[in-house]
């Protein structure tokens, strides 16, 4: 049976048990059958709570004060159990690893359809189809624990798709995906929507997804702030900034340069820039040839020397890899999902042992490691005790423990939360707490695996500012990231991995100038870089672009 409205929410009020304030008060939303809606929202805005309301986990499984009506595919969610709604509305959680619990990829995808009592041929069809849709065909026998973060995210999506719901709700579905995987996901979702009249709701801050939707909502504190087509909403630069959202680079750039007409696409921006007479102040070739001189650096502190490594039962990840890191550098490691980025970090830290070759560390150099998921390294019941734990295990006396813990918590702006439960903090605060626990041990080298994943724009800015400050204080920073804008703003050096090999390694400006080689690795330079190149010069950041235009006038 078809419904003109796939989703209808009227008068929704919800407050979590023991929470002082409600998430929603008289919230209303209608989504038409087959519509593609992007809801852009910062952390704590209520977007994940909305997803839980749509699949019936609220109010059936997650308790609180619930009033109003949430109707999906003609069903009032408070009158059905989530299992009854699973084939009508599928939800990918922001914490996608919470949806993975088996030891084989195919079993993970099969679990949902199995519980529908489907025949074996139909079950196999759905598993094969779902894995093919997300680009994981051929990995059926892999243990999900051995997959990269992006592959795990796609696996969780495949498990949702195998139920073949008519409504798909994806909460931050691209946080762990490289740019090429995001492009593939966009194509897949577009084809599904067209072929099956799928209703799609995308939650988060990814502007690439929002541009593919027919409707965009700006959402904050449980309320709709703006609602309209993407070419209108995504030009509301000031509104987005006021909500703590990162506006699209090109409209923001032109807004900051005093323009009232704001381009959304690169082609529009090039045409407008040329019409305004924005020209390079020197020949393009001289900028390209001289771009990216290496920053001053000290002695090498950490290195892989002819390292080979592979996981049991799998192909080699690295074969004879050599790569070094110098004192004072801030290096961003880039690459597609499965290219070996996290494996590289674990080898550097000593969490993995090479099968041949060696990991060299300068005498006396300490290395700290911050996991992509900070919850993997949080154990204590209080923030203060979390930082103190490693210090006590190092045999320090209590006076020194107290001094270092206070210093580290002050550095990450968590001293006021020192007596709180770590798991009562936001994701961004937990990420900073993990950094504090490492900082307290005073390592010369700090390794961070995707330090901005799952954080909203303000939290990302805070985390990256902290990382930049640590580098300026003398720490050597090595971070894996999928965020091209973060790499462009903060990294001195970029290392690009592809299929276990270093394809590009050099100063940030120089690497981002290699557009064709980046594309071959499934990566794209930020729009600011691509725009500047089209205009005949290279700017790595918006600030640099604005400065160049000001100097050339």
| DSSP for 397-417, written as a single string | -HHHHHHHHHHHHHHTT-GGG
Q: Locate 549 and state its tokens.
A: 């235009």
Confidence of residue 289 (pLDDT cuts 50, 70, 90): very low
Convert the pLDDT of each residue in 528-546 to its tens digit: 999 999 999 889 999 999 9
Least confidently predicted of 25-29, 366-370, 460-464: 460-464
- List Cα–Cα distances, 192 to 31, 96, 134, 396, in angstroms: 17, 21, 12, 58
| E strands present in 73-131 | 75-76, 89-92
pLDDT of residue 297: 65
pLDDT digits (tens, 9 = 90+) for 302-318: 999 999 999 887 789 99
Query: Token pair for residue 485?
Result: 């804008």
Question: Residue 308: what pLDDT?
Answer: 96
Q: In this structure, what token pair is assigned to residue 160?
A: 């949702």
Model pLDDT for residues 354-381, shown as the tens digit of each residue: 999 999 999 999 999 998 888 889 999 9
Give pLDDT, residue 279: 74
Helix, strand, or coil (residue 190): helix
Asked if residues 378 and 423 have their Cβ atoms less than 8 Å apart, the reply is yes
Q: What is the separation of C-alpha 78 from the centre of its chain, rounded to a whole number of angstroms?
A: 32
Whether pLDDT at 45 is above 90? no
- Digit-coded pLDDT (tens) for 413-455: 899 999 999 988 877 788 889 999 999 999 999 999 988 887 7
Domains 5-248 and 300-380+427-529 share a fold: yes
Angstrom distance (rounded) from CA 437 to CA 418: 12
Q: How far is CA 438 from the centre of its chain?
A: 22
CA–CA distance, 274 with 201 (Å, rounded to integer): 37
User: What is the mean pLDDT of the segment spanning 455-462?
Assistant: 85
pLDDT at residue 463, rounded to an integer: 86
**d(C-alpha 349, C-alpha 446), whole Å:** 9
The secondary element (H helix, E strand) that includes residue 204 is strand 199-204
Per residue in 137-149, pLDDT tens?
Answer: 999 999 998 888 8
Residues 6+ apart with CB under 8 A from 364: none
- Report the 10 Å Cβ neighbour count for 519: 13
Band of residue 294 on the pLDDT scale cut at 50, 70, 90: low
**389, 380 in Cβ contact below 8 A?**
yes
Q: How confident is the model at residue 101 (pLDDT cuts 50, 70, 90)?
A: very high
| Residue 82: pLDDT over 60 | yes
Domain 300-380+427-529 has CATH 3.40.50.300: yes
pLDDT at residue 290, rounded to an integer: 31
What's the whole-number mean pLDDT along residues 290-294? 41
pLDDT band of 324, cuts 50, 70, 90: very high
pLDDT digits (tens, 9 = 90+) for 88-100: 999 999 889 889 9
Query: Helices then strands (H, E): number in the chain?
Result: 23, 19
Burial class (CB within 10 angstroms; exposed 0-12, middle 13-18, buried 19+) of 2:
exposed
Alpha-carbon span 12 to 27, nearest angstrom:
5
For the chain, the 3-state helix, strand and coil shares in percent, each to the nearest 5, are: 40, 25, 35
Which pLDDT band, with edges at 50, 70 and 90, does 283 fall under? Answer: very low
pLDDT tens-digit map of 242-260: 999 999 999 999 999 999 9
Tell me which H or E stretch contains 446. strand 445-449
What pLDDT, on the 0 to 100 scale, is given for residue 288? 37
Give the percent of the chain with pLDDT over 90.
75
Q: Helix or strand or coil: residue 111?
A: helix
User: What six digits make up the tokens of 252?
Assistant: 């923001």
Say if residues 333 and 487 touch (Cβ distance below 8 Å). no
The closest alpha carbon to 411, from 463, 455, 369, belongs to 463
**Distance of CA 313 to CAs 142, 144, 363, 497, Å?**
9, 14, 35, 22
Vertex 361: Cα angle to 356 and 367 (nearest 5): 115
pLDDT of residue 1: 47
Q: Which tokens sit at 135?
A: 């680009």
Average pLDDT over residues 19-34: 93
Tell me: the pLDDT tens digits for 474-511?
999 999 998 899 999 999 999 999 999 999 999 999 99
CB 484 within 8 A of CB 494: no
Nearest C-alpha neighbor of 97 from the set 51, 50, 159, 38: 159
The C-alpha atoms of residue 39 and residue 216 are separated, in whole angstroms, by: 6
Q: Where are the domains of the chain?
A: 5-248, 300-380+427-529
Which CATH number among 3.40.50.300, 3.90.480.20, 3.50.40.10, 3.40.470.10 corresponds to the domain 5-248?
A: 3.40.50.300
């Amino acid at each position: 049976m078809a419904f003109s409205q796939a989703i209808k929410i009227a008068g929704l009020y919800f407050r979590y048990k023991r929470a002082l304030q409600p998430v929603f008060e008289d919230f209303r939303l209608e989504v038409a059958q087959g519509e593609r809606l992007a809801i852009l929202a910062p952390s704590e805005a209520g977007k994940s709570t909305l997803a839980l309301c749509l699949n019936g986990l609220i109010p059936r499984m997650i308790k609180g004060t619930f009033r109003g009506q949430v109707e999906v595919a003609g069903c009032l969610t408070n009158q059905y159990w989530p299992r009854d709604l699973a084939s009508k509305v599928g939800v990918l959680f922001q914490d996608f690893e919470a949806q993975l619990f088996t030891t084989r990829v195919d079993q993970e995808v099969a679990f949902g359809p199995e519980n529908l009592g489907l025949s074996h041929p139909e079950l196999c069809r759905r598993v094969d189809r779902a894995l093919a849709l997300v680009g994981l065909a051929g990995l059926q026998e892999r243990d999900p624990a051995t997959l990269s973060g992006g592959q795990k995210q796609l696996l969780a999506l495949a498990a949702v798709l195998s139920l073949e719901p008519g409504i798909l709700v994806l909460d931050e579905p691209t946080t762990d995906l490289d740019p090429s995987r995001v492009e593939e996901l966009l194509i897949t979702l577009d084809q599904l929507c067209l072929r099956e009249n799928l209703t799609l709701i995308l939650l988060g801050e990814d502007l690439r997804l929002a541009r593919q939707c027919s409707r965009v909502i700006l959402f904050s504190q449980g309320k709709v702030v703006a609602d309209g087509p993407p070419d209108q909403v995504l030009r509301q630069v000031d509104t987005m900034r006021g909500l703590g959202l990162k506006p699209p680079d090109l409209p923001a750039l032109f807004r900051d340069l005093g323009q009232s007409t704001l381009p959304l696409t690169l082609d529009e921006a090039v045409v407008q820039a040329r019409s305004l007479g924005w020209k390079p102040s020197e020949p393009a070739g001289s900028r390209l040839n001289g771009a990216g001189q290496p920053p001053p650096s000290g002695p090498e502190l950490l290195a892989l020397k002819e390292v080979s490594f592979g996981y049991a039962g799998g192909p080699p990840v690295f074969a004879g890899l050599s790569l070094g890191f110098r004192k004072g550098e801030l290096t961003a490691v880039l690459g597609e999902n499965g290219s070996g980025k996290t494996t590289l970090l674990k080898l550097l830290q000593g969490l993995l042992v090479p099968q041949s070759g060696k990991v060299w560390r300068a005498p006396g150099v300490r290395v700290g490691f911050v996991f992509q998921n900070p919850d993997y390294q949080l154990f204590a019941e209080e923030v203060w005790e979390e930082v103190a734990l490693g210090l006590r295990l190092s045999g320090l006396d209590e006076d020194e423990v107290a001094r270092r813990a206070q210093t580290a918590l002050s550095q990450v702006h968590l001293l006021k939360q020192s007596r709180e439960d770590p798991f009562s903090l936001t994701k961004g605060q937990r990420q900073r707490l993990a950094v504090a626990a490492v900082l307290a041990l005073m390592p010369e080298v700090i390794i961070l695996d995707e330090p901005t994943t799952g954080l909203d724009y303000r939290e990302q800015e805070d985390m990256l500012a902290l990382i930049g400050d640590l580098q300026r204080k003398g720490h050597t920073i090595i971070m894996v990231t999928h965020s091209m804008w973060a790499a462009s703003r903060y990294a001195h050096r970029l290392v690009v991995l592809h299929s276990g090999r270093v394809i590009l390694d050099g100063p940030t400006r120089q690497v981002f100038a290699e557009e064709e080689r980046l594309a071959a690795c499934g990566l794209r330079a930020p729009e600011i870089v691509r725009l500047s190149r089209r205009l005949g010069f290279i700017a790595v950041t918006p600030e640099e672009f604005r400065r160049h235009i000001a100097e050339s006038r």
